[in-house]
Amino acid sequence: PDTDKYQVLTGDMHIHTIFSDGNVWPTTRVEEAYAEGVEVICITDHLDHRHKRLVNNGDFTRDRNYSYDVAAKRGEALGVIVIKGAEISRGMPPGHFNTLFISDVEPIAQASDAQEDHQKGMLAGLAKAKKQDAFNVWNHPHWSSQAPNVTKWFPEHTKLFKQGLMDAIEIYNGGDGYSPEAHQWAIDRNLTLIGGTDTHSPMALELDFNAGELRPCTLIFAKERSVKGVEEALWARRTAVYGDGMLYGSEEVLMPLFKASLEMTKVKFHKTSCEVVFENRSNIPIILRKAPGSEEVHYKRFRIVQPHEKFTMWINGSDWHGAPLKVNEFNLSLFVENFVTAPGKPLEFRVKLSREQQQ
């Protein structure tokens, strides 16, 4: 659901098509998103040797902007926002970076290709992208091919960061899952959280839709539903990341989302208990666990609230034998186990309930 201040858009910020090393035509990427209810996609085809191979094989005569041009036209027809981007793919370090909201891929590719050295090539490409007011994302720092044993921040990344060439980190990648290291680096350096599928194959081959599986994505807290609105939200770091039933983000973005998702629809004090009715308005389960601060009352210490489920929480006195609720007000304290504000740290929700203010 939307929050009280922002539209919550779902975005896949890392997508490949047949015009780099994907297996899917650009219009299909738009149609997949439309079918799944994904509102924003970023076309991030590799701009390096993969493109050259297509040209050398005689398979492709257009420039590197073509995959976006094809997708954008279909996106306009279906109401899916398509962002122009590209992936600069060099060795590790510094690895792979997506550059988003660009106007022309070609000069970025030429700047990167002109340098044999991986670091110099990445510096040149990202610097050229910045001349187009690009938003740069360090992709999958935990990719097993780049980080077989440990996820590491190298001096090369410090250099990119200090030069203003790193704006975000992909903390969840469809191929490698969640990276707690990348999540912490984003917090420490005030970088935007990004997640995406990094999809190469048709989505129906990567996700089990029959089992209700959802694609990993970035939740974008936007002032308006447009390219401009998405861009403003990313620069303002108003994002969260979804993957495998978990949400990762700052308390500032997750708390309003939680309150909109698990709505408290009724509070009624009875003589010996308090009745609180919740309704999950989201399409993911919400995992609740009792948190410190509510020792004077007792209620279920663990509860999974299924999508669109409505349930009643009964709150009684602290004596497990069933003593009456003797207090007129108390704190209801909950950890939201699958809303994560930092590695290993769940969102903590606390609300004071009183007889005088009951709904």
pLDDT tens per residue across span 184-231: 999 999 999 999 999 999 999 999 999 989 999 999 999 999 999 999
Is the entire prediction scored with pTM above 0.85?
Answer: yes
Condensed to tens digits (0 to 9), the pLDDT of residues 111-134 reads 998 999 999 999 999 999 999 999
Instruction: Give φ, ψ of 151 to 5 degrees.
Output: -90, 120
8 A C-beta contact, residue 80 and residue 40:
yes
Residues linked to residue 7 through DSSP beta bridges, in sequence order: 222
Give the whole-angstrom CA distance, residue 87 versus residue 184: 23
Residue-wise pLDDT for 32-86, tens only, equals 999 999 999 999 999 886 667 777 777 677 789 999 999 999 999 999 999 999 9
Half-sphere exposure of 47 (CA within 13 A, CB side): 34
pLDDT (tens digit, 9 = 90+) per residue, 24-44? Answer: 999 999 999 999 999 999 999
What percentage of residues in the chain have a pLDDT greater than 70?
96
Could you give the CA distance from residue 359 to residue 352 in angstroms, rounded to a whole number? 13
Dist CA 222 CA 190 (whole Å): 19
Residue 118 and residue 90: Cα distance in Å, rounded? 5
